[in-house]
Structure 1
Amino acid sequence: MRSIMAMLRPKGADAGALYHAIVAEARQPAWYREGAVADSMDGRFAVLASLVALAILRLEEGDEEAVRHSVALTESFISDMDAQMREEGFGDPSIGKQVRGMVGALASRVDRWRDARAGNGAWDDAVRFSVYRDSLPPAETALTFATESLRRFNEGLNGQSDRNVIRGHFG
């Protein structure tokens, strides 16, 4: 049951629609077939965190409402990771450490993508770091797929108004 204080707290930005749209994108089978991302918790996390990082950066470039939604998107990600870890059977004593590690991994991706988007780093290097954990995928075609997919996702975000991005429309 929610506390009375939580019910009285002003409602902040809600990134639910955007987060759900990103999760749907991360679940596309092509990431795991053509992109050769491991269909495992780690692989799915890598794709999701990469997409969330790009969306956070796009929102940070928007108006004040968009920036608030970048924070809300991060909070949605954290809440989902907490729920996923609990579903996998992690207990309370270890969950905080696990989720902190995931938040750190997201922050690392945000930093790497910020550099790549600004032209201070190679896009392919950001893909290898963000999706494949700095190792090469089994085939060059997989890296090409992931690189182009993330580039299209980023361009889709950039081609939309702040309002459309917040609503989860990015393509």
Structure 2
Amino acid sequence: MFQRLRAGRRNREIIDAIYVDLVERARQPHLYEEAGIPDTVMGRFEALSIHVFLFLRRCRDDAALRPLAQDVVDRFIADIDRSIRELGVGDQSVPKRMRKLAGIFYERVKAYDPAMDAGSGTGRLAEALRPRAVAPDAPEGAPPRLAAYMREAAARLEAVPAAAILAGSLDVKEAT
């Protein structure tokens, strides 16, 4: 019984380590200053959604990583719920807001996934990002910069071995 409790605690530590890493990546200033994501509550949600999406893509073809990917998405949803409550949304409104935000996240996944699969260029992905994650008043060239960042981030995640991810690391340096 105690072994199962320790394993559960270790799993939470791994999930938290990965999620914190994704949050830190989503907070990079260049995403807001150069890549056009608005520095607002919804902009932060968009940046985090992009990173959770990229993590899901990394895990989707590896059966050993799929349960962890689902756990990270669950952690993301729980964090969004907590954030909504901290912003002062009433308890009765939270489920409605959560359904809306979860819908927005999965709509992003549906839009970004085929654009990422469309080849190595940034054009189609930039077009998918423009109405969703990029502010209308973003600097010129912001959507292609954000698309290029996403492609680079996806390539870095692909370079991380599954064993490192299962241990809670998304850092290529730690993985080698």
Q: State whether structure 2 residue 8 is matched by structure 1 residue 11.
A: yes
Q: State whether structure 2 residue 89 is matched by structure 1 residue 90.
A: yes
Shift of 1:129: 4.4
Aligned-partner SS, 2:67? helix
Q: CA RMSD in A?
A: 2.4
Shift of 1:170: 4.3
Aligned-partner SS, 1:11? helix
Question: TM-score under structure 2 normalisation?
Answer: 0.80
Gaps of 5+ in 1: 1-6
Gaps of 5+ in 2: none
Shift of 1:105: 1.2
* Deviant stretches of 4+, over 6 Å: none
User: 1:43 and 1:161 mapped to 2: Cα distance?
Assistant: 30
> How many residues in Structure 1 have an aligned counterpart in Structure 2?
161
Structure 1 window deviating more from structure 2 (112-121 vs 53-62): it is 112-121
* 1:169 maps to amino acid: L
* 1:122 maps to amino acid: R
Shift of 1:139: 2.6
User: 1:136 and 1:34 mapped to 2: Cα distance?
Assistant: 13
Shift of 1:150: 1.0
Q: 1:31 to 1:55 in 2, by over 3 A?
A: same
What residue is the counterpart of 2:148 in the other structure? 148
Aligned-partner SS, 1:75? helix
Conservation of the 8 A alpha-carbon contact between 1:58 and 1:158: yes
Residues 93-117 of structure 1 show CA distances to partners (whole Å, capped at 9, x for unaligned) of: 0001111111111111222222123
What residue is the counterpart of 2:118 in the other structure? 119
Conservation of the 8 A alpha-carbon contact between 1:137 and 1:143: no
* 1:11 maps to amino acid: G
* 1:95 maps to amino acid: V
Residues 81-137 of structure 1 show CA distances to partners (whole Å, capped at 9, x for unaligned) of: 0110011011110001111111111111222222123228922223224422xx755
Conservation of the 8 A alpha-carbon contact between 1:49 and 1:106: yes
User: 1:83 and 1:77 mapped to 2: Cα distance?
Assistant: 10
The 5-angstrom pairing of residues 46-61 of structure 1 reads 46-61=46-61
Conservation of the 8 A alpha-carbon contact between 2:34 and 2:139: no
Conservation of the 8 A alpha-carbon contact between 1:36 and 1:142: yes
